[in-house]
Structure 1
Amino acid sequence: MEIPVIDLTPYVDAVSGKFSCDELLHPELKTVCSEVSRILRETGALLVRDPRCSIEDNDRFIDMMERYFEQPEEVKRIHERPNQHYQVGSTPEGVETPRSMVDLEIQNTLQQLHKDHKPTMPTGPDLKSRYMWRIGDRPTKTQFQDLNSEHIFPEGFPEWKQVMDSWGFKMISTVEAVAEMAAIGFDLPKDSFTNLMKLGPHLLSPTGSDLGRHGEEGTVFAGYHYDINFLTIHYKSKFPGLSIWLRNGEKLEVKVPEGCLLIQVGKQLEWMTAGDCKAGMHEVVVTKSTLEAIKAAKKENRSLWRVSSTLFSNIASDAVLKPLGHFAKSPLSVNYPAMYAGDYFERELSVIKLNVGNGKVGA
């Protein structure tokens, strides 16, 4: 199965004022919105084209992050903030623990998967590095200060803020468009999700995987897991290796077409739809396709760091996470009790061994 590609241009044009507000109710636009919600529900993932996000923007970002990750470990260690649950600055490899190693419910689910669709089981913590950069305004008052802390600026990158903010805000705009379209498709008010995203701890979180050191087939950089945020968005990586699982349990190695972005459902969207949308499971592993890309990169003398342009969009920490609208009437809503998004987030960070600081959970 291939994931369909949705062109956001008609919707972006409509909400940017090129068309009247009445056109948002145009049957063709409503049909596209219904398609967005259907694909998210059935696959947990979505491919989109957004005219505001260009290949050049992504390339500039990836080039800078390759230079960052190529630095010596002792330089990057300065930017680590374990006391803030690694939710800002650098996270070294070997810290985050895949859910498949610690979550009994997921382990039980894995036993039911067909052998051809089982993930590559990790033997320890993820081998990926990460850098967390805040996108957007922060609340002036919050119960969850550690989840809403200030930036960490690495030395030697004068262009850092401009490149990170420029690319991060463009991807957030894409997420907001998809969130509005999904809400319309789910028969909710258009701003049901985006209102809760305001002042959320959105994170531009590129991962760095050193294929020069860990380039053997079967190496697990990110073990089988779901994302704990609202929607995750990525641009195409130079190195393949990301696989996702569809709702029916089918494993799919993702091939992102040129100029497209991949959206994945996170746990917060699952919560607000009472499980109608399920957080998508995925992994990043060195595959045969990765090996071919490594060979090409060596021939062209390019960086062997696999960098993802991942951005995690989030519901505001002090907002209440609960099933919305008609989803609250679902019999499954009892599995998704109302709680502060920040409490939920800290609980999840504790499971994957990132909540090691002064937070309320796992401290």
Structure 2
Amino acid sequence: MKLLPVIDMTAYLAVMDKLDGEPSKLKEQLGPELTESCKQLARVLSEAGAVVVKDPRCSAEENEQFIEMMERYYETPVEYKRPQERPSLRYQVGITPEKVEVPRAMVDEKLQEKIRAMCNSKESQPATLTGPDLKWRYMWSVGPRPSKTQFKELNADPVIPEGFPGWVETMNSWGYKMMAATEVVAEMLAIGYGLPKDAFTSLMKQGPHLLGPTGSDLQSYGQEGAVLAGYHFDTHFLTIHGKSRFPGLNLWLKNGQKIEGVIPEGCLLVQAGKQIEYLTAGDCMAGLHEVIVTDKTIEAIKQAKEQNRSLWRVSSTFFAHIASDAVLKPLGHFAESPLASNYPPLYAGELMEEEFTFLNLKGNEA
């Protein structure tokens, strides 16, 4: 089984505040080993649409604590969760119930063509889609929002469930650590691509960053082959999350090979979104993935039952965004790419609004 390499960011964290932003000076300041780590990070993300990183500030213990809190939340009755729904805000804050979000592959003709091209290789094919995703998701705003924006529903205030002790503190603690980790990944990526180190992070300031943990009820949908999140890519800049208690994540490399999304203990998985595809003129394509119930998921369900643990599959996912009012276009030398014309300038918020229509998250007009 192919596994993604682990990029340890510890050494970069020790020197990042002393670095000059110019690419010409960074190589000398970083030294050969750290320079190669940045290049490897960019290379793996471009080839696989995903990369595993280790950030010593984000412990396996805190990932587990966060998952445990979300298990308690998702186990609450539907009547308790429903008041946190915000369809008028495109479900960008609060709860999105199961069977609302439509997998992109059900409505995207280009993805459907890609699936048809896999017909000779069943091992590479995604699971057959029969309807909307079976997952719930809670969106929690992380970080400051702009005082003025043309995309208000993308920058709404967070929704707080009533009578849930420790909610705000736990969501903010994990959310800000995930945001800090993605900022370091973004710096290392920029250096690896030969761009100024703040090429991406400068565009992330006041972005509509979201902690978006999913919850899938394996008591109800624990049958092998059940599609919890159908074949799709993420639209924002980068996705990052820790290890789930239940396997089931599949990833597709740029060459079309399907691999299992294995996250070693204490590490984080980073996935490329559509916004970074724009900024690199397609050099780094948005990573395709799905979450399904596999034979390994079934084994984990069996163990959870024996240990009297929760049967909700929770992800500790964070979505890092480019600021809604920032313009997406190929950066630096990527602007000279022959593919740059495929990525005409548009606001990051416009790209997100297009996605809401695709995924049935348009809601009512805000």
Q: Normalising by structure 2, what TM-score?
A: 0.96
Whether 1:332 and 2:333 are equivalent positions in the alignment is no
Q: In the superposition, relative to structure 1, how do residues 24 and 350 fare at CA in structure 2: closer, same or farther (>3 Å)?
A: farther
Whether 1:62 and 2:62 are equivalent positions in the alignment is no
- The match for 1:318 among 312, 317, 325 is 325
2-structure distance, mates of 1:196, 1:17: 21
CA contact (8 A) 2:27 2:35 kept: no
Superposed CA offset, 1:32-72 (max 9, x none): 11111110111111001111001121111111100100011
Aligned residue number for residue 3 of structure 2: 2
Whether 1:107 and 2:112 are equivalent positions in the alignment is yes
CA contact (8 A) 1:11 1:24 kept: no
Whether 1:12 and 2:13 are equivalent positions in the alignment is yes
Aligned residue number for residue 251 of structure 2: 244
1-structure distance, mates of 2:193, 2:27: 19
* 2:296 aligned partner, one-letter code: S
- 4+ runs deviating over 6 angstroms: none
- Pick which of 10-19 and 285-294 moved more: 10-19
Aligned residue number for residue 223 of structure 1: 230
CA drift at 1:95: 0.4
CA contact (8 A) 1:208 1:306 kept: yes
Aligned residue number for residue 143 of structure 1: 150
Aligned residue number for residue 126 of structure 2: 119
Superposed CA offset, 1:240-277 (max 9, x none): 00000011101111111111100000000001000000
CA contact (8 A) 1:91 1:129 kept: yes
Aligned residue number for residue 343 of structure 1: 350
- Pick which of 307-316 and 25-34 moved more: 25-34
Aligned residue number for residue 162 of structure 1: 169
* 1:59 aligned partner, one-letter code: E
CA drift at 1:18: 11
CA contact (8 A) 1:24 1:30 kept: no
Q: In the superposition, relative to structure 1, how do residues 221 and 24 fare at CA in structure 2: closer, same or farther (>3 Å)?
A: farther
1-structure distance, mates of 2:107, 2:254: 22
CA drift at 1:357: 2.6
Superposed CA offset, 1:193-243 (max 9, x none): 000000000000000000001100000000000000100001000000000
1-structure distance, mates of 2:81, 2:272: 30
- The match for 1:176 among 183, 202, 221 is 183
Identity %, equivalent residues: 58
- Pick which of 322-331 and 289-298 moved more: 322-331
CA drift at 1:15: 1.5
Q: How does 1:209-288 map to 2 (within 5 A)?
A: 209-288=216-295
- Pick which of 113-122 and 210-219 moved more: 113-122
CA drift at 1:22: 8.6
1-structure distance, mates of 2:29, 2:234: 30
* Structure 1 unaligned blocks of 5 or more: none
CA drift at 1:24: 4.0
* 2:64 aligned partner, one-letter code: D
- The match for 2:206 among 199, 204, 207 is 199
Aligned residue number for residue 92 of structure 1: 97
- The match for 2:88 among 79, 83, 93 is 83
CA drift at 1:122: 1.5
CA contact (8 A) 1:212 1:304 kept: yes
Aligned residue number for residue 23 of structure 2: none
1-structure distance, mates of 2:171, 2:257: 34
Match of 1:247, SS state, is coil
CA drift at 1:356: 2.0
2-structure distance, mates of 1:40, 1:273: 12
CA drift at 1:16: 4.6
Superposed CA offset, 1:151-196 (max 9, x none): 1000122311111111111111111111111101101110000000
Q: Normalising by structure 1, what TM-score?
A: 0.96
Q: How many residues align?
A: 359
2-structure distance, mates of 1:18, 1:226: 33
2-structure distance, mates of 1:320, 1:115: 40
2-structure distance, mates of 1:357, 1:31: 48
Q: In the superposition, relative to structure 1, how do residues 302 and 16 fare at CA in structure 2: closer, same or farther (>3 Å)?
A: farther
2-structure distance, mates of 1:327, 1:16: 26
> How large is the Cα RMSD of the aligned pairs?
1.6
CA contact (8 A) 2:208 2:323 kept: yes
2-structure distance, mates of 1:18, 1:140: 31
CA contact (8 A) 1:14 1:23 kept: no
* 1:160 aligned partner, one-letter code: W
* 1:2 aligned partner, one-letter code: L
Match of 2:37, SS state, is helix
CA contact (8 A) 1:85 1:355 kept: yes
- The match for 2:315 among 308, 327, 348 is 308
